[in-house]
Amino acid sequence: MAEQLPEEFVSDILSSHVNSPGQLLPILLDVQHKVGYLPEEGVQTIAEFLGIDVGEIYSVASFYSQFRLTPIGKYHIQVCRGTACHIRGAPRILGELENQTGISEGETSSDMKYTLETVACMGCCALAPAIKVNSNVHGELTTRKADEVMHSLPEEETDDS
Amino acid sequence: MTANQRTVNVCQGTGCISAGAEQILSLLKAEVAGLNLSDSVLVRGTGCHGLCQAAPLVAIEPDGILYAKVSPDDITDIARSLLPDGKPVERLFYYDTVIDRPLAIFRDIPFYYKQQRFVLRNLGNIDPDSIDDFVNAGGYGAARKAVTGMTPEEIVEEVKSSGLRGLGGAGFPAGRKWETCRVEMAEQKYVICNADEGDPGAFQDCAVMEGDPHSILEGMIIAGYAVGSDTGYIFVRAEYPRAVARLRTAISQARERGYLGKDVMGTGFDFDIHIFQGAGAFVCGESTALVRSIEGGRGIPKAFPRPRTTEIGLWDKPTLLNNVKTFASIPVVINNGGASFASRGTETCKGTAIFSLAGNVVNTGLVEVPMGTRLREIIYDIGGGILGGRAFKAVQTGGPSGGCMPAELLNLPVDFDSLTEAGSMMGSGGMIVMDQDTCMVDVARYFLDFTRRESCGQCVPCRVGTKQMYDILDGICRKEGRPGDIELLVELGESIAETSLCALGKSAPNPVLTTIRYFRDEYEAHIIEGHCPAGVCSSYQ
């Protein structure tokens, strides 16, 4: 992925889609999933492919929480802020991770190592509070266990970046 | 296969997987093969078994033995227990804290035997990636019966007589919705499964998709035949990648076997299903917002008055939209008949209610009970009571659209109407138990923080009003509350409920209004007495 220019990469992705009404979200999700964010040049390519305005794409992309307009870090940390997680200590876990990474919710560290986000609910309510690092879920966390997860990261594979 | 064949069901639900269940499954498969037991023992992954608290779970059938909190170190012992002279691994039995002893057989555990599983009938019992498992459990029998032996009118009548109400939260009678869609005259109609389970604290739709995807497809096939549609969509929220993967597998298997596609089961009826992944917006659980999202736009609901989705829906065509659990209930209705389905539940709410039980409760997990079961039975008998012996404070249902109910309401029967009367709602089925250490003002602030972020922004009452309510609640939590704040919150809440354009705005004040209704003293303690009784709000410490 790193070898290719964003617009070339997006063109590759577009080759598996057809230009029909309702294809915008599937295309954006595909690009987001494979590139990690929606690169500006790529959005231009998508606009030409679908024959719509760049502005229309940003209007849609900015509405949905899944879409990112900037690259994400090597470790994508998502802190669940569902109800069960909230009452079982998610705010403390988020605070601890902010301390550990030195960034706030919604930010990516300048060395591109971490992106820290909150998500509405991951469906692991029974194991609250939970976080997800790339595609791995860690449940029943305490601040100490969150620490341990962070310290075990360098050995972990980045499987969906 | 030999007569004494055993099956080892290794739960691969989201909860168990996050506790390491994938590794448990592969280790057990290898160990069983190593002991040359592969001919007599089948090891397979299943959907959510229910008791997520004790994850990862391993169940041995037909014995019914349940092993809880299994670790890789336990694999050898479990595999050896399957040898002809093997003994169960007693140290892995679930320990029931209410009756204070370990229980070997899961059907003896109050968490399980107090439930009645209909919608969740196959969860934990079949491999969701195996269409053969599903068919062997009677799957696609209802679709065959409907498509080959019933008229669309008969099917709609059956659904009507079942009394089934939409299990996505609003509780609209499913049969009536099917009828209005069926009688529409149109060349093209659509069937949509709403799997945009956006309520924080709810995971039952996710569990059904992951654990029994074919049941949803079967319900949709029957719906397509009944209303006259050839195309279905499943709108799945983006946060559930595993559900998407299992649905994809199920759809391709169903196409291969002729349950989906052209000429379904040789009847001349065409029906296919596509998956549409959401992109992360709570408001897309609203039917018209969901439809706009599939059309490729921003998920903004249509304002009232508006035509029903059954009249003008996706691409302006008549569209039948039901929740995951509603579709998964349909095969039961068709197989057993509407009257049989209606024999369970209350006068006005038939069938079962499904909850994701979570929060400060001993047994967190997936629960299905007849409509009308009392809150107390769910929380204390099934849920095992409050974690750590602390005191119960409140139970929250309906997510950001619902409310918090106090101990005085523990005898409340759980159904659409009783919950709405209490100021809460059934919602999609999250049930969060809160103990004495939960601050109700903080909980109200939490929900308003959620709705203000998720408001689509099209109407002022919701966009501005939820922000105003959040600011007042945040002020109270930061020790900046003023006399009159409570009255202002009530006034704001009532006008937002009255004037918002869609259900998100109309129900957004519920968490605030119910906490004021039932826990006003906690608000007053913050504002007037200057302390947070639960010790949560740090500004008061």
Partner residue facing B201 (CB), from A22, A29, A82: A82
- State how far residue B364 is from chain A, nearest Cα, in angstroms: 5
- For the segment A120-128, the average pLDDT, to the nearest whole number, is 84
- Put residue B331 in one of left, alpha, beta given phi > 0 → left and psi -120 to 50 → alpha: alpha
Distances (CA, A) of B16 to A4, B47, B150, B255: 38, 10, 41, 30
Predicted local distance difference test score (pLDDT) of residue B4: 54
Q: Answer whether B14 sits within 8 Å of A137, measured CB to CB.
A: yes
Q: What are the residue ranges spanned by the domains of chain A?
A: 6-61, 75-154
Alpha-carbon distance B421 to nearest alpha carbon in chain A (angstroms): 22
Identify the architecture of domain B440-540 in CATH.
Up-down Bundle (1.20)
The better pLDDT of the pair A127, B495 is held by B495
Q: How far is A2 from chain B (nearest CA, A)?
A: 24
CB-CB under 8 Å, A60 with B396: no
Q: Tell me which H or E stretch contains B319.
A: strand B319-323
Hey, are the CB atoms on B279 and A128 less than 8 Å from each other?
A: no
Please, what are the averages of pLDDT over each run of 10 residues along chain B (541 residues)?
A: 76 91 97 95 96 95 96 97 94 92 94 93 96 97 98 97 88 95 97 92 92 98 98 93 95 98 97 95 92 94 90 96 96 95 92 93 94 96 94 94 95 93 87 96 96 94 97 98 97 96 94 97 97 94 85
For domain B6-109, the question of CATH label 3.90.850.10 is answered with no
For a pLDDT cut of 90, what percent of chain A falls above it? 61
**In whole angstroms, how far apart are CA B445 and each of B220, B495, B520?**
39, 18, 14
3-state secondary structure of A125: helix
Long-range contacts of B335-342 (CB under 8 A, 24+ apart): B335/B138, B335/B141, B335/B142, B335/B145, B337/B158, B337/B161, B337/B162, B338/B157, B338/B158, B338/B159, B338/B160, B338/B161, B338/B162, B338/B163, B339/B161, B339/B162, B341/B162, B341/B163, B341/B164, B342/B161, B342/B162, B342/B163
Res A160: pLDDT = 47
Chain B CB within 8 Å of residue A21 CB: yes
Partners of A123 on chain B (C-beta within 8 Å) are 14, 197, 202-203, 206-207, 239-240
Distance of alpha carbon B425 from alpha carbon B415, whole angstroms: 9
Nearest-CA residue of chain B relative to A136?
B18
Which CATH number, 3.40.50.970, 3.10.20.600, 1.10.3480.10, 2.40.50.140, labels domain B352-435?
3.10.20.600
pLDDT for position A4: 67
In SS3 terms, B247-299 reads as: HHHHHHHHHHCCCCECCHHHCCCCEEEEEEECCCCHHHHCHHHHHHHHCCCCC
Choose the closest CB to B280 out of A65, A82, A84.
Answer: A65
Q: What is the pLDDT of residues A74-102, one digit of tens each?
A: 999 999 999 889 999 999 999 999 999 99
Contact A126 B203 (CB under 8 A): yes
Q: What is the dihedral of CA B89, B110, B25, B133, to 10 degrees?
A: 120
Whether B52 and A135 lie within 8 Å, measured CB to CB: no
From A116's Cα to the closest Cα of chain B, the distance in A is 16
User: Which of A27, A63, A76, A122 should one mutate to test binding to chain B, selecting the residue with the greatest count of B CBs within 10 A?
Assistant: A63
Give the closest-approach CA distance of A46 to chain B in angstroms. 13
In this prediction, residue B174 carries a pLDDT of 96
- Using a CB–CB cutoff of 8 Å, tell me whether A55 touches chain B: no
- Chain B: give the shortest CA distance to residue A43, in Å: 15
Provide the pLDDT for residue B202: 87
Collect all residues of chain B within an 8 Å Cβ-Cβ radius of residue A24. 296
What is the reported pLDDT for A156?
47
Q: Domain B131-342: which CATH class?
A: alpha beta
Where does chain B hold its CATH 3.10.20.600 domain(s)? 352-435
User: Chain B: residue nearest A67 by CA?
Assistant: B279
Residue of B11, B12, B14, B231 to mutate, testing the A interface (most A Cβ within 10 Å of its Cβ): B14
| B211/chain A closest Cα distance in angstroms | 14
Q: Which residues of B touch A82 (CB under 8 A)?
A: 200-201
Q: Do A121 and B277 touch (CB under 8 A)?
A: no
Confidence category of residue A16, pLDDT binned at 50, 70, 90: confident
Q: Tell me whether A69 touches chain B (CB under 8 Å).
A: no
Which CATH number describes the domain made up of A75-154? 3.40.30.10
Task: Report chain B residues whose CB lies below 8 A from the CB of A69.
Answer: none
Are the beta carbons of B434 and A87 separated by less than 8 Å? Answer: yes
User: A119: which chain B residues are within 8 Å (Cβ-Cβ)?
Assistant: 239
Strands B430-435 and B65-67 come out as: unpaired
Q: Is A64 within 8 Å of chain B by CB?
A: yes
CA distances from A158 to A76, A133, B152, B270 (A): 9, 9, 50, 43
Q: Minimal Cα distance from A60: which residue of B?
A: B298
A51 part of contact set with chain B, CB < 8 Å = no
Nearest Cα of chain B lies from the Cα of A131 at a distance, in angstroms, of: 10
Range(s) within chain B of domains with CATH label 3.40.50.11540: 131-342
Amino acid at A114: Y
Cβ <8 Å between A138 and B18: yes
pLDDT tens for A25-62 read: 999 999 998 888 999 999 999 999 999 999 999 999 99
pLDDT for B43 equals: 96
Q: Is the pLDDT of residue A159 over 50?
A: no
Where, residue-wise, is CATH 3.40.30.10 in chain B?
6-109
β-bridge partners, B361: B386
